[in-house]
């Protein structure tokens, strides 16, 4: 495998349990957020997004929560599966800019 | 979604040499982005490449070290010049596209560079 995630914080979760991955973002002016999943040997892939006028958004098995007061973003994965094992990054973008700022990332390890 | 390919997928290079990484997108895009992902780290934007203009570099990255070409709307190259072991990273290109998301960035598979 590749070295992505070797030194990142790791969350170990039992298969079937729910996972919660947290991210503290940096800019209070950011108005758009994305969660990415990066599997070993691949580029990041989009999971779910949320705009700053929302505090919750649900997808298939995933939910993103946004707390603008404390600049906190979380990703909840329901019924975690072995295929969910990867590194997860949050990314933020400010209004009027095309640049994304990526968080430090969390490695999710699903235990059988 | 966008399909993005990168070449090479990986390489091992000697110190002092240069490597050019290619990024091909399956459709025309205005902006292409180059990121670096050092081992165990997050993604850091190197530069933004628009067709027909000079690339815009982020703080800490300079054109002499990372020259970029953008000859058309589907292709870009990033060169890592005069390499040192500190340049060992994954280099990713991405494009901005309105996909499932409001404004999603699609990433290529990355080029894994090891400098000896």
Q: With CB atoms and an 8 Å threshold, state whether A98 touches B48.
A: yes
B98 near A CB under 8 A: no
Q: With CB atoms and an 8 Å threshold, state whether B107 touches A45.
A: yes
Instruction: Give the pLDDT of residue B103.
Output: 66
Instruction: Give the pLDDT of residue B1.
Output: 65
Averaged pLDDT, A2-11: 65
Q: With CB atoms and an 8 Å threshold, state whether A6 touches B105.
A: no
Instruction: Give the pLDDT of residue B100.
Output: 56
Most distant CA pair in chain B, distance: 42
Averaged pLDDT, A25-36: 91
Residue B97 belongs to domain with CATH number: 2.60.40.10
B2 near A CB under 8 A: no
Instruction: Give the pLDDT of residue B96.
Output: 82
Instruction: Give the pLDDT of residue A3.
Output: 42
Instruction: Give the pLDDT of residue A7.
Output: 64
Calculate the alpha carbon distances from B51 to B21, B55, B57, B63, B72 in Å: 17, 9, 15, 16, 6
Say what percent of chain A tops pLDDT 90: 78
For residues B2 and B95, what is the distance between their CA atoms, to the nearest angstrom? 8
pLDDT tens digits, one per residue of B50-106 = 888 889 999 999 999 999 999 999 999 999 999 999 999 999 999 987 655 566 788
Enumerate domains of chain A plus CATH numbers: 10-111 (2.60.40.10)
pLDDT tens digits, one per residue of B7-66 = 999 999 999 999 999 999 999 998 899 999 998 889 999 999 988 888 999 999 999 999
Averaged pLDDT, A91-95: 88
Residue from B88, B91, B90, B94 nearest B106 by CA: B94
Q: State the total domains in chain B.
A: 1
């Amino acid at each position: 495998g590749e070295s992505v995630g070797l030194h990142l914080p790791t969350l170990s979760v039992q298969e079937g349990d729910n996972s919660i991955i947290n991210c503290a973002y940096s800019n209070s002016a950011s108005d758009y957020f994305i969660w990415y999943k990066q599997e070993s040997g691949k580029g990041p892939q989009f999971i779910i997004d949320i705009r700053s006028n929302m505090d919750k958004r649900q997808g298939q098995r995933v939910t993103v929560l946004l707390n603008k007061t404390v600049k906190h973003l979380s990703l909840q994965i329901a019924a975690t599966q072995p295929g969910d094992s990867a590194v997860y990054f949050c990314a933020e973008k400010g209004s009027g800019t095309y640049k994304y700022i990526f968080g430090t990332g969390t490695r999710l390890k699903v235990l059988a | 979604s966008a399909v993005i390919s990168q070449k090479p997928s990986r390489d091992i290079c000697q110190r002092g040499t240069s490597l050019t990484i290619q990024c091909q997108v399956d459709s025309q895009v205005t902006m292409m982005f180059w990121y670096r992902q050092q081992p165990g780290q997050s993604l850091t934007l190197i530069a933004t490449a628009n067709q027909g203009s000079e690339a815009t570099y982020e703080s800490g990255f300079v054109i002499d070290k990372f020259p970029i070409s953008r000859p058309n709307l589907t292709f870009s190259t990033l060169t890592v010049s005069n390499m040192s072991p500190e340049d060992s990273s994954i280099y990713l290109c991405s494009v901005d596209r309105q996909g499932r998301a409001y404004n999603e960035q699609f990433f290529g598979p990355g080029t894994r560079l090891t400098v000896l």
